[in-house]
Protein backbone atom coordinates (compact mmCIF):
# COMPACT_ATOMS: atom_id res chain seq x y z
CA UNK A 1 0.00 0.00 0.00
CA UNK A 2 1.34 3.43 -0.99
CA UNK A 3 1.94 5.68 1.99
CA UNK A 4 0.24 9.06 1.98
CA UNK A 5 0.61 12.18 4.09
CA UNK A 6 -2.09 14.58 5.22
CA UNK A 7 -1.10 18.12 4.38
CA UNK A 8 -2.19 21.71 5.07
CA UNK A 9 -1.15 24.21 2.40
CA UNK A 10 -0.28 27.79 3.41
CA UNK A 11 -0.04 30.59 0.84
CA UNK A 12 2.72 32.55 2.54
CA UNK A 13 6.38 31.87 3.20
CA UNK A 14 8.03 34.93 4.70
CA UNK A 15 9.88 34.89 8.01
CA UNK A 16 6.78 35.69 10.08
CA UNK A 17 4.78 32.95 8.38
CA UNK A 18 7.60 30.44 8.81
CA UNK A 19 7.89 31.05 12.56
CA UNK A 20 4.12 31.03 13.05
CA UNK A 21 3.50 27.87 11.04
CA UNK A 22 6.34 26.07 12.83
CA UNK A 23 4.69 27.06 16.11
CA UNK A 24 1.25 25.87 14.94
CA UNK A 25 2.66 22.52 13.82
CA UNK A 26 4.32 22.00 17.18
CA UNK A 27 1.12 22.84 19.06
CA UNK A 28 -0.89 20.13 17.31
CA UNK A 29 1.86 17.52 17.04
CA UNK A 30 2.28 17.93 13.30
CA UNK A 31 5.29 18.81 11.18
CA UNK A 32 6.30 21.90 9.23
CA UNK A 33 8.46 21.66 6.10
CA UNK A 34 10.74 24.53 7.11
CA UNK A 35 12.60 24.31 3.80
CA UNK A 36 9.41 25.37 2.00
CA UNK A 37 9.71 28.88 3.42
CA UNK A 38 11.00 31.62 1.12
CA UNK A 39 9.85 34.77 -0.57
CA UNK A 40 9.39 33.57 -3.24
CA UNK A 41 9.31 29.76 -2.96
CA UNK A 42 12.51 28.25 -4.41
CA UNK A 43 11.80 24.52 -4.04
CA UNK A 44 10.01 22.71 -6.85
CA UNK A 45 6.88 20.62 -6.40
CA UNK A 46 8.74 17.27 -6.68
CA UNK A 47 11.33 18.44 -4.13
CA UNK A 48 8.61 19.42 -1.68
CA UNK A 49 6.76 16.10 -2.10
CA UNK A 50 9.96 14.22 -1.27
CA UNK A 51 10.28 16.21 1.95
CA UNK A 52 6.61 15.64 2.81
CA UNK A 53 6.92 11.87 2.41
CA UNK A 54 9.98 11.81 4.68
CA UNK A 55 8.09 13.29 7.62
CA UNK A 56 7.19 10.77 10.34
CA UNK A 57 3.93 12.44 11.44
CA UNK A 58 1.09 14.44 9.99
CA UNK A 59 -0.50 16.82 9.36
CA UNK A 60 2.36 18.36 7.44
CA UNK A 61 2.35 22.12 6.87
CA UNK A 62 3.83 23.40 3.61
CA UNK A 63 4.35 27.06 2.71
CA UNK A 64 4.18 28.60 -0.76
CA UNK A 65 4.96 32.19 -1.74
CA UNK A 66 5.05 34.12 -5.04
CA UNK A 67 6.36 37.41 -3.62
CA UNK A 68 3.67 39.41 -5.41
CA UNK A 69 4.29 37.96 -8.90
CA UNK A 70 1.23 38.19 -11.11
CA UNK A 71 -0.61 35.08 -12.26
CA UNK A 72 1.15 31.73 -11.89
CA UNK A 73 4.49 32.04 -10.11
CA UNK A 74 6.90 29.43 -8.70
CA UNK A 75 4.94 29.08 -5.45
CA UNK A 76 1.71 28.33 -7.26
CA UNK A 77 3.33 25.88 -9.67
CA UNK A 78 4.81 24.01 -6.71
CA UNK A 79 1.52 24.14 -4.80
CA UNK A 80 -0.48 22.73 -7.70
CA UNK A 81 1.99 19.86 -8.12
CA UNK A 82 1.87 19.03 -4.41
CA UNK A 83 -1.93 19.25 -4.19
CA UNK A 84 -2.41 16.92 -7.14
CA UNK A 85 0.17 14.33 -6.08
CA UNK A 86 -1.41 10.91 -5.38
CA UNK A 87 0.50 10.50 -2.10
CA UNK A 88 -0.68 13.83 -0.71
CA UNK A 89 -4.05 14.19 1.00
CA UNK A 90 -4.77 17.92 1.30
CA UNK A 91 -6.84 18.65 4.40
CA UNK A 92 -7.26 22.32 3.54
CA UNK A 93 -5.63 25.59 2.59
CA UNK A 94 -4.84 28.65 4.71
CA UNK A 95 -5.13 31.44 2.13
CA UNK A 96 -3.26 34.54 3.24
CA UNK A 97 -4.41 37.99 2.16
CA UNK A 98 -1.89 40.42 0.69
CA UNK A 99 -1.57 43.71 -1.14
CA UNK A 100 -0.64 42.56 -4.63
CA UNK A 101 0.66 44.48 -7.64
CA UNK A 102 -2.46 43.38 -9.47
CA UNK A 103 -5.85 42.10 -8.42
CA UNK A 104 -5.44 38.35 -7.98
CA UNK A 105 -8.26 36.87 -5.97
CA UNK A 106 -9.59 33.48 -5.03
CA UNK A 107 -12.80 31.95 -3.79
CA UNK A 108 -12.71 30.99 -0.13
CA UNK A 109 -15.09 28.94 1.99
CA UNK A 110 -14.77 31.05 5.14
CA UNK A 111 -12.45 33.64 6.60
CA UNK A 112 -11.29 34.50 10.09
CA UNK A 113 -10.82 38.19 10.83
CA UNK A 114 -8.23 39.61 13.20
CA UNK A 115 -10.70 39.47 16.09
CA UNK A 116 -11.10 35.73 15.57
CA UNK A 117 -14.58 35.94 14.06
CA UNK A 118 -15.51 33.45 11.33
CA UNK A 119 -17.25 35.04 8.37
CA UNK A 120 -18.43 34.35 4.82
CA UNK A 121 -16.72 37.60 3.74
CA UNK A 122 -13.08 37.90 2.75
CA UNK A 123 -10.46 39.73 4.80
CA UNK A 124 -7.61 42.05 3.89
CA UNK A 125 -3.92 41.91 4.81
CA UNK A 126 -4.65 43.45 8.21
CA UNK A 127 -7.33 40.87 8.94
CA UNK A 128 -10.15 43.38 8.52
CA UNK A 129 -13.34 42.07 6.97
CA UNK A 130 -13.91 42.97 3.31
CA UNK A 131 -17.20 43.52 1.50
CA UNK A 132 -17.27 40.61 -0.96
CA UNK A 133 -18.74 37.28 0.02
CA UNK A 134 -16.49 34.26 -0.56
CA UNK A 135 -13.61 36.14 -2.20
CA UNK A 136 -10.18 37.30 -1.07
CA UNK A 137 -7.15 38.96 -2.64
CA UNK A 138 -3.63 37.60 -2.20
CA UNK A 139 -0.36 37.05 -4.06
CA UNK A 140 -0.19 33.23 -4.08
CA UNK A 141 -3.85 32.43 -4.66
CA UNK A 142 -4.05 32.39 -8.47
CA UNK A 143 -4.34 28.61 -8.78
CA UNK A 144 -6.48 27.79 -5.74
CA UNK A 145 -9.70 27.60 -7.72
CA UNK A 146 -8.13 24.83 -9.83
CA UNK A 147 -7.43 22.66 -6.79
CA UNK A 148 -9.79 20.02 -5.43
CA UNK A 149 -9.44 20.73 -1.71
CA UNK A 150 -12.00 20.30 1.11
CA UNK A 151 -11.78 23.83 2.55
CA UNK A 152 -10.03 27.16 1.94
CA UNK A 153 -9.79 29.41 5.00
CA UNK A 154 -8.86 33.05 4.40
CA UNK A 155 -6.91 35.04 6.99
CA UNK A 156 -4.83 38.23 7.12
CA UNK A 157 -1.06 38.35 7.11
CA UNK A 158 0.17 35.43 9.23
CA UNK A 159 1.91 36.39 12.45
CA UNK A 160 0.99 40.06 12.03
CA UNK A 161 -2.48 41.68 11.73
CA UNK A 162 -1.52 44.60 14.01
CA UNK A 163 0.09 42.08 16.39
CA UNK A 164 -3.23 40.30 16.93
CA UNK A 165 -1.67 37.15 15.43
CA UNK A 166 1.72 37.68 17.06
CA UNK A 167 3.62 34.69 18.38
CA UNK A 168 3.76 36.57 21.68
CA UNK A 169 0.00 36.06 21.88
CA UNK A 170 0.08 32.45 20.65
CA UNK A 171 -0.88 33.32 17.04
CA UNK A 172 -4.61 32.86 17.79
CA UNK A 173 -5.87 33.65 14.29
CA UNK A 174 -3.59 31.15 12.58
CA UNK A 175 -4.33 28.56 15.26
CA UNK A 176 -8.06 29.02 14.76
CA UNK A 177 -7.65 28.47 11.01
CA UNK A 178 -5.67 25.28 11.68
CA UNK A 179 -8.26 24.01 14.16
CA UNK A 180 -11.06 24.72 11.68
CA UNK A 181 -9.32 22.69 8.99
CA UNK A 182 -8.68 19.80 11.41
CA UNK A 183 -12.31 19.83 12.54
CA UNK A 184 -13.62 19.83 8.97
CA UNK A 185 -11.33 16.93 8.04
CA UNK A 186 -12.29 14.85 11.08
CA UNK A 187 -8.69 14.82 12.26
CA UNK A 188 -9.55 16.78 15.40
CA UNK A 189 -11.86 13.97 16.57
CA UNK A 190 -9.20 11.42 15.68
CA UNK A 191 -6.68 13.22 17.89
CA UNK A 192 -9.16 13.41 20.76
CA UNK A 193 -9.67 9.63 20.56
CA UNK A 194 -5.90 9.07 20.54
CA UNK A 195 -5.48 11.30 23.60
CA UNK A 196 -8.29 9.47 25.38
CA UNK A 197 -6.73 6.10 24.60
CA UNK A 198 -3.37 7.28 25.96
CA UNK A 199 -4.98 8.53 29.18
CA UNK A 200 -6.83 5.23 29.67
CA UNK A 201 -3.77 3.05 29.13
How would DSSP label each residue in the chain?
Answer: ----EEEEEES--SHHHHHHHHHHHHHHT-EE-GGG--SS--S-HHHHHHHHHH-SSS-EEEE---TT-SSS-HHHHHHHHHHH-TTEEEEEEEEEP---SS--EEE-SEEE-TTS-EESEEE-TTS-EEEEETEEE-SS-TTGGGS--S-EEEESSTT-TTTTT-GGGT-HHHHHHHHHHHHHHTHHHHHHHHHHHHHH-
Query: pLDDT-derived band of residue 186, with 50, 70 and 90 as boundaries?
Result: confident
Please tell me the predicted confidence (pLDDT) of residue 188.
Answer: 65
Which sign, positive or negative, has the C-alpha torsion 201, 180, 142, 161? negative
Nearest to 49, CA basis, from 60, 57, 65, 37: 60
* 179 has a pLDDT exceeding 50: yes
How far, in Å, CA of 77 to CA of 83, rounded? 10
Residue 44's DSSP bridge partners are: none
Residue 127's DSSP bridge partners are: none
Calculate the average pLDDT of the chain. 89
How far, in Å, CA of 159 to CA of 174, rounded? 8
Residues 9-46 have pLDDT tens digits of 999 999 999 999 999 999 999 999 999 998 888 999 99
* 68 has a pLDDT exceeding 90: no
Amino acid sequence: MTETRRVILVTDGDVYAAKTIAYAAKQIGGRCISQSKGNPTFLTGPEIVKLILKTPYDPVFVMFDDCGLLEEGPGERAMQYVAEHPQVDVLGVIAVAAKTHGSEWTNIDVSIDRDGLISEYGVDKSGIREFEVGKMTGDTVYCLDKLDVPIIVGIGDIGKMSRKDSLDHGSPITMKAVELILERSGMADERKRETKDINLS
